[in-house]
Structure 1
Amino acid sequence: MTFLVRLSLALALLLLSGCEQPPMPSLDQQLYVWQRQWTPAHEPALRQSHGDFSRLRVLALQAFPGAGWSRARIDSVMLKADGRPLIAVIRLDGQLKSLDQDEVITQIQQLLSDWQAQGLAPVGVEIDHDAGNARLPAYGAFLARLRQALPATLGLSITALPAWLDSPALPGLLQTVDSSVLQVHAVSDPRQGLFDPKQARRWAERWSGVTTRPFYLALPAYGVALLTQESGAPVVESEVPIDRGGERRELLADPQQVAGLAAQLRTEPPKHLAGLIWFRLPLAGDRRAWSLTTLGAVARGDSLDSRLALQVGEHEGLYDIRLMNQGNLDSPWPQRLTLAVGACDGVDALAGYTLQQTPGLLTFTRIQEGRLAAGAQRAIGWARCTKIDQGGFNVYP
């Protein structure tokens, strides 16, 4: 190879390397831990979430009108063992008539001192206060004072509402904190739904044009129920059951819809968007939260799929019939399932399904709503038959 050829190749490689675009920075993924009372179920949930979420934003302290102050009963041993950076979240209810600044700052400082005595070293404080637009100037003044009272090494962030975009006080308020968390779920009339991905994207774009500092989007991984009333707005039921009759309408953030928005944000992030924060860490048995399997898959950007199948176990001619979700996406209970069988002298369905028997076939029909978590299973019936065809089943969504 001549010198000129070698020189031409070297120049071509140099030009190509100069044209390469730097890799797009990935969005940080964090997780809210929002239970007021910690239980042993937190330990496996924290362990399973460790690989997908970099930080934990932990509900620590709340103030409500009339009820006063209350602390979440965290497990400091679990948090120390987890090892991820912690942000203490202080919830100041939006219905508080005013903020007693001295009292709020004293409560926060005492909380931080107590956490440090338990061996916890939070890296930040987040204030969650749904202030109305008219109160934003006063709220900004409080945040500026709180910033001065906190150690300079401690980050200060706020949970923010899309409604604030209409306030001229917003730019100044955002200058008082290190970052903001824009909540894009459960911010409208609940009868309109829990989450709208297109609206969330529009809010994020508008927010990026107002703030000059990093911001995050708080995305939903949960559901609620709306309890109808004869008059007035519906009552929202979350994990704590409300003893009230009437119709319950279940609302659940659709994992595939949220995953679609997350994918858009990864490829075309609005200016200043630093990451996504998921609400909330689900525990085993949570009725209205995505499973950790589904939450992790959405956070990673994995392809989502529910693979429903029937599993039949036999003991002395008695068959236990179970529905399995072998995918990574939580699934509603299917509307109908059929199973090929031989002669049966006893069959029955379990809670949630009714059963019809015809020659050579058992048909299970759903009579109530329910969800099957990714990787989970549940018994739907039993049968005493001469045989059951393990592969002779059909699942109809």
Structure 2
Amino acid sequence: MRVIVGLSAMLAVLLLCACERQDAAPLDQQLYVWQRQWTSAHELALKDSRSDFSTLRVLALQAFPSDGWHRARIDAPLLKHDGRPLIAVIRLDGQLKSLDQSQVTAQILQVVADWQAQGLTLSGVEIDHDAGNARLPEYTEFLTHLHSALPASLPLSITALPAWLGSSQLPALLATVDSSVLQVHAVSDPRRGLFDPEQARRWASAWGKISSKPFYLALPAYGVALLPDADGAPVVESEVPIEREGQRRELLADPLQLSRLAKALREDPPEHLAGLIWFRLPLANDRRAWSLNTLRAVARGDALSSQLGLAFSDHAGLQDIALRNVGNLDSAWPARIIVKASACEGADALAGYSLQQSADLLTFTRLRDGRLPAGGQRAIGWARCAFIDQGGSHVDP
């Protein structure tokens, strides 16, 4: 009888644990919208992201040490129509010599008032300021002042750096805000890469032990290029091209790495972790961001794969040849594409590839690196041939 009771009790505990695991709240997924100039591409990007990302954190205002204040030119009617919770992000450059509490607060309150006058309902304000550890006491004073000036209904959050974990000021700093966003990408020498998932996991665990309030992880869904400067230090090129000579070294956050990290965080989240915020909302013409298809797949926890193939379209005997990716993972351009074809009157490759032609083969060879987004298609060449064996053609990675 005692054995039966013991087994029953053990079963009840196991069932209770299983229920608790099932009832655990999933990690929230949010997006940064980080363009200073909005375009028509925002409309489709917002529409297609709505089902997977709960909240938009939108760049609203930037302050630079030598260039003053700059407002982001948002599309207020589009944001109003979108309807998701909206957090205005104010970027205060880390090189600012000091934070004038009255001036900065006045600028922020004016942005809040202007957005509200355009019919936008704010769910919070976020301050993005890369203060060094020595300046955290000053930053704490500023945040205390700002929080008291904001409407009580408007939560205040900050973007935070892992370097702050070594500061005794951190608990006091976190006490001034309602939540924090720990940025775990592009936080050290960019020559070492954009992101280290193991280090990010350690930082998140350590942050959860110090923070008594909800915090989020800001994760990368983008790439940059490094250009050499005159003194050898790297110059970072992101969304906006830089007019500078020199070899570009491309760095891209790996979706497979981020997918594994997101899965681990869902299964065993650090204390107080409330969600993930992806940087940044990808636009159709954003050449250094993941495609939205890949970002959504990572956020959902879907299995990731690229599926490259060829598409042929006939125009009065002339075949346009395109590379397509029907998978959910962005792919590098393949090194070689072989098309079985014979009796060709003419053929050529388009930018990015060269063509070698033999009696029964057209071989397209990659000349430079590029990416084909998930769900995307790119023309690679054309051919006018008596016979093209579409089924016999293939793509080499």
Q: TM-score normalised to the size of structure 2?
A: 0.95
Name the residue aligned to 1:91.
Answer: 91
Write the mapping of 1:144-293 to structure 2, written as runs, cut at 5 A: 144-293=144-293
Query: SS at the partner of 1:343?
Result: strand
| Shift, 1:19, TM fit | 5.4
Deviation by residue 1:16-35 (Cα, 9 ceiling, x = unmatched): 75454312220000000000
Deviations 1:124-175 (A, max 9, x none): 0000000000000110111111111111111110000011111110111111
Q: Which structure 2 residue ranges, 5 or more long, are not aligned?
A: 1-7
Report the more deviating stretch, 383-392 or 75-84. Answer: 383-392
Q: After superposition, give the CA deviation of every residue in 1:67-126 in whole Å (9 maximum; x if it has no partner).
A: 111110111100000000100001000000000000111111111111111111101000
Which position in structure 1 is the counterpart of 2:45? 45
CA distance in structure 2 between the aligned counterparts of 1:155 and 1:65, rounded to whole angstroms = 27
Superposition CA RMSD, Å: 1.5
Structure 1 unaligned spans of 5+: 1-9
Distance in 2 (alpha carbons) for counterparts of 1:368 and 1:137: 49
Residue identity opposite 1:21 in structure 2: C
**Partner residue, 2:384:** 384
- SS class of match (1:386): strand
State the 1:11 CA deviation: 10
- Aligned mates of 2:107, 2:224 — CA distance in 1: 31
> 1:7 maps to which residue?
none
| Corresponding residue for residue 359 of structure 1 | 359
Q: Which residue of 2 aligns with 1:307?
A: 307
Task: Give the 5 Å matches for 1:18-33.
Answer: 18=16, 20-22=18-20, 23=22, 24-33=24-33
2: CA distance, partners of 1:133 / 1:11: 52
Deviation at 1:344, TM superposition (A): 1.1
Task: Evaluate the alpha carbon distance shift between residue 391 and residue 209 of structure 1 in structure 2; reply closer, same or farther with a 3 A threshold.
Answer: same
Q: Secondary structure at the match of 1:21?
A: helix
Q: How far did residue 316 of structure 1 move? A: 2.3
Distance 2:66 2:10 in 1: 73
Tell me, in whole angstroms, the C-alpha distance in 2 between the residues paired with 1:176 and 1:29.
24
CA distance in 2, matches of 1:270, 1:382: 53
Instruction: After TM superposition, list the pairs within 5 Å mapping 1:113-128 onto structure 2.
Output: 113-128=113-128
- Partner of 1:81 in structure 2? 81
Distance in 2, matches of 1:316 and 1:62, equals: 54
Secondary structure at the aligned position of 2:323 is classed as strand
Report deviation, 1:342: 2.0
- Which residue number corresponds to residue 58 of structure 1? 58
Structure 1: distance between partners of 2:217 and 2:13: 38
Does the residue aligned with 1:375 lie in a helix, a strand or coil? coil
Match of 1:5 in 2: none
In structure 2, relative to structure 1, the CA distance for the partners of 1:343 and 1:250 (3 Å cut) is: same
Q: How does 1:99-118 map to 2 (within 5 A)?
A: 99-118=99-118
Q: Find the aligned partners of 1:303 and 1:349 in 2 and give their Cα distance.
A: 33
CA distance in 2, matches of 1:172, 1:163: 15
Cα distance in 1 for residues equivalent to 2:372 and 2:209 = 41
Aligned equivalents of 1:19 and 1:217: distance in 2?
A: 27
Residues 1:16 and 1:371: Cα distance change in structure 2 (over 3 Å): closer
> In the superposition, relative to structure 1, how do residues 16 and 247 fare at CA in structure 2: closer, same or farther (>3 Å)?
closer
Identity of aligned residues (%): 69
Counterpart of 1:297? Answer: 297
- Supply the distance in 2 between the matched residues of 1:19 and 1:171 (Cα, whole angstroms): 33
Deviation digits for residues 265-305 of structure 1, max 9, x if unmatched? 11111110000000001111111001111111111111111
Q: Which amino acid aligns with 1:301?
A: G
Q: C-alpha displacement at 1:313, in angstroms?
A: 1.4
Offset of residue 12 of structure 1:
11
Runs of 4+ in 1 over 6 A off after TM superposition: 10-16
Give 3-state SS (helix, strand or coil) of 1:282's partner. coil
Question: CA separation in 2, counterparts of 1:12 and 1:67?
Answer: 66
Post-superposition offset of 1:187 = 0.5
**2:177, 2:13 → 1: CA distance?**
43
SS of equivalent to 2:328 = coil
Count the aligned residue pairs.
388
